[in-house]
Amino acid sequence: MQQKQRTTVDILKALDKSNCKECGSPTCLAFAALVIQGKKTLRECPHLSEEAIQALGGDGVGKKGKDDDTRDEQFERLMEEFSGVDFEEAAERIGATVHGGRLGISCLGKIFELDRQGNLYSGCHVNLWVHGPLLDYATHSAGRQLTGDWVPFGDLEQAKDWARFFSHRCEQGMKQIVDDDPDFFFDALSIFSPTPVGQKTGKPFSSADHVTVVYPMPKVPLMIAYWCADAEFESKLTLFFDRSAEVNLGAESIYALVRGMVEMFTRIFSTHGLD
């Protein structure tokens, strides 16, 4: 079905019009015009919700820009590199399985399968954000043992370029979901992880009201630490990674993966419920 042609005004209406410049454009209007010209993508505005992006036709709105081409090229390169992966070797290295000629990787407790061409299969709704990180994980992960040293995303080497985006879209995005009902959110997370880590540990997150570990990839655990609001402070959410995350999955793929999780949690917690 042909997508409705969008205009600069359509894009502008969806923006918050704060002219905050975080997208690198001087105003929201300038940003909207650049999106239509294909020189910017909607996701470069950190204040635009996933729902708004989808309502505008996704990130493909506007002409294809250099960034899109770069992303496409990166994805194609990943697919090509993945075609050379030895499934048996990879399964051992990254904690996956081989079944029926496909590499099965557990992502948040669900098995996602990749065939030899890199196509993705899953019994649940396939989240496209997961596809690139899975290919990257299978192809490039060092499969290093966990160190037990939990660090925030920004402390990972090579994460510096992504830290601001990660804070906005991943930590703030997840915090907004959790803020609605923290007890319910963390109870519900047991669907994705049987490994609650509620005990006090003496680490920076030991004062958190909720601490849970989930496994977006077998060797890339993610610790979600949440501090409830009180009379003095707003609520806070920080995501911690094992120090090995930077060799088990690159910073860009970690960012994409957690973005995908936030998108998925938004859908589950706000639309369908958990049944």
Under the rule (CB under 6 A), what is the footprint of ligand SF4?
15-16, 18-23, 25, 28, 31, 45-47
Nearest residue (CB) to ligand SF4, 49 versus 97:
49
The closest alpha carbon to 227, from 242, 206, 241, belongs to 206
Residue 261 Cβ vs ligand SF4, minimum distance, rounded to whole Å: 22
Residue 180 Cβ vs ligand SF4, minimum distance, rounded to whole Å: 23
How far apart CA 91 and CA 32 sit, in angstroms, is 44
The closest alpha carbon to 133, from 237, 222, 22, 38, belongs to 222
Nearest residue (CB) to ligand SF4, 20 versus 268:
20
How far apart CA 93 and CA 87 sit, in angstroms, is 10
Sole residue written with tokens 């992966």: 85
Residue 153 Cβ vs ligand SF4, minimum distance, rounded to whole Å: 20
Question: Which H or E run contains 111?
Answer: strand 110-114
Nearest residue (CB) to ligand SF4, 52 versus 197:
52
Nearest residue (CB) to ligand SF4, 35 versus 224:
35
What CA–CA distances, in Å, run from 75 to 70, 82, 118, 136, 272?
Answer: 9, 10, 10, 9, 30
Nearest residue (CB) to ligand SF4, 47 versus 110:
47
Residue 259 Cβ vs ligand SF4, minimum distance, rounded to whole Å: 16
C-alpha angle 191/194/196, rounded to 5°?
A: 110
The closest alpha carbon to 104, from 74, 76, 134, 66, belongs to 134
Residue 164 Cβ vs ligand SF4, minimum distance, rounded to whole Å: 11
Report the DSSP beta bridge partners of residue 211: 225
Query: How many residues does the structure list for the chain?
Result: 275
Nearest residue (CB) to ligand SF4, 39 versus 47:
47
Residue 29 Cβ vs ligand SF4, minimum distance, rounded to whole Å: 8
How far apart CA 265 and CA 91 sit, in angstroms, is 28
Residue 40 Cβ vs ligand SF4, minimum distance, rounded to whole Å: 9
Nearest residue (CB) to ligand SF4, 90 versus 262:
262
Question: Between the CA atoms of 129, 146, 149 and 214, what dihedral angle is there, to the nearest 10 degrees?
Answer: 40
